[in-house]
Amino acid sequence: MTLTAAGAQTAWTTASASWITGQLTVDSSKSYSVSSTIAGATGFLVAKQEGSKLQSVDKMDVSTVDAANRTIAMADAAIATVDGQRARYGALQSRFENAVTNLQTTSDNLTASKSRIQDADFATETANLSRSQILQQAGTAMVAQANQLPQGVLALLR
């Protein structure tokens, strides 16, 4: 990163020894840190290394314009974080709903297949029952005719 002072002719790099005074405000919804790799550098980069600090709602201050702007920035960052989480959870919920719908469709298809198989088995068994009943009735009729044959012969012989 190269910092340039307003109105300065050169940028502050490792090769130059410029002074930059002022305030640097870093806003991020993620964490960050500020440090220096310039050997022998003085100033806020080396003397005071800073990192991000979490702010809670009870620490928000709106007593000055700057404080109110920082509070708004914190609220915006919190809203952005919540929106990001909602998007992640919404996508996850959508995947779960699709999986449930897919499983429900599979279950319905299996139930319908089982019903068709049972219906086909019922029709087959009904046909087999009818066939067995016809064969039984035919057998009974044959036995009745066979029993009448000797009586007919005896009647002829008398």
Beta bridge partners of 4: 11
Half-sphere exposure of 12 (CA within 13 A, CB side): 17
Give the span between the Cα atoms of 46 and 35, in whole angstroms. Answer: 6
**Predicted pLDDT of residue 118:** 80
Residues of the chain with pLDDT under 50: 1-2, 4-5, 8-12, 45-47
pLDDT at 27: 62
pLDDT at 39: 58
Count of all residues that appear for the chain in the document? 158
* pLDDT of res. 8: 46
pLDDT at 37: 59
